[in-house]
Each structure stands twice: as C-alpha cells, then as structure tokens.
Amino acid sequence: MKIVAVSDIHASMKAVRVLAEKIGELEPDLTVISGDITHFGTKNDAKRILSEIPGKKVAVPGNCDPPDIVDIFEETETVDIHGKRAEIDGIVFAGLGASNPLPFSTLFTYSEENIYAILDAIAPGTDILVTHTPPSGILDKTMFGHRGGSESIRKIIEKHRPRMALFGHIHESPGIEEQDGILFVNPGPLKKGNFAVVEIDREMRAKRFHLAEK
C-alpha cells in the first residue's frame, strides 16, 4: 500500500489543489490526514477542502477544527477514524484527533486522561496509529524549544506497539524517526507545502517531500 500522509492544511486551498495534482502523479492507495483541515472553520469549510482531495482518505480532526467536521467525512470519501478503528486493504488504522491541553484557546482538546482511555480501547492490534498530536518527545519540539506532544499517546504507543505513528500539530518538527522498531512520521504542515509518502511493506518506508518537488 502507498500512502500520502498530510497534516495541518489550515484551509490553504492553494496547497490542497497542488496536492491533488501530486496525488494524480503518485497514484497512492490512500491519503491520511492528521487534522487541522480548517483554520477555526466550519464543517462546510472542511467539506469543501476534502472534496478537492481525490481518492480514498482517512482522517482525524485537529485542535483548530470543530468537532462536528466528522459529520461530513463520509460525503467526501473520507473514512472517519476519530476514536475509531478501520481496516483498509488488510491494514488496521486507529485514530484520535484534537490535541492535549494547550496554554491558549482552540476548538478541540482532550485531557491526557481522556486521550489515554480512548486510545487504549482501540489501539490493540493496530498497524498505523493516526493522531493529530505527536507522542511526547518525538518530533514535537516547538519554536520555543518546549515539547508539545502527548504523554498519553507516547504511553499508548509503548504499550500497544503499532508499526507506525502518523501525526502533525507541531509545525516546527517535521521529520521521520524510527525508534524501537516503530516508524514515526510528522510530514510537516501541508499549508507550507509539506507531505510524506509511505510505502507499506515488510519494512515500512517513508520519505518527506515538498509540493514544489518533482
């Protein structure tokens, strides 16, 4: 399976349209979206954005999305894995949107206790964990040097050991890391042209790109 992984669209229709062209070139089996589809927008804004991204999609909302955007996912060929599991072509996905608590106000957050409880119920046997927020300590360093990831997501990954974790949220820490046999991917914000391509085989390979690259 080939996956295009994106996050943090923040309502950039320009980036979405270039992404749509890239998807046409790459012909992935699936596009995975790790939240912040809108920028403090509405579910109708999300519908307009997702409708521009061709093919099958899997998504969770971000902290800058209203919780009700999941209501329009089905209309846009998008599989809702917010607090849910889904098996696609033999690969088991589990996901959770929103973010852990922040020092400023956004639309959608959960306490660390809720994050753990929700994920602990759906993560067993997962191949790919999709969250908006990174696990604490992995690709989560903010511009101020602080770690913005979730302790609960880190604990869930250590407990249930998915093969891969896809996330976003911290724009300043894009990258790909492998730790203890688990691949971690923060593609960076699509708003700034970033995305990643993941090849799912026995090894699971990933590479980051910019929309301007050919």
The mean of the pLDDT values for the chain is: 95
Question: Does the pLDDT value for residue 214 go beyond 60?
Answer: no
Question: What local confidence, expressed as pLDDT, does residue 145 receive?
Answer: 76
Spell out the long-range contacts of 37-42 with Cβ–Cβ below 8 A and sequence spacing 24 or more: 37/9, 37/11, 37/61, 37/62, 37/65, 37/69, 38/9, 38/10, 38/11, 38/64, 38/65, 38/66, 38/69, 39/10, 39/11, 39/64, 40/64, 40/106, 40/107, 41/11, 41/65, 41/66, 42/66, 42/69
Mean pLDDT across 165-180: 96
Number of domains within the chain: 1
Domain that holds residue 117: 2-210
Question: What local confidence, expressed as pLDDT, does residue 205 receive?
Answer: 87
> What is the CATH number for 58?
3.60.21.10
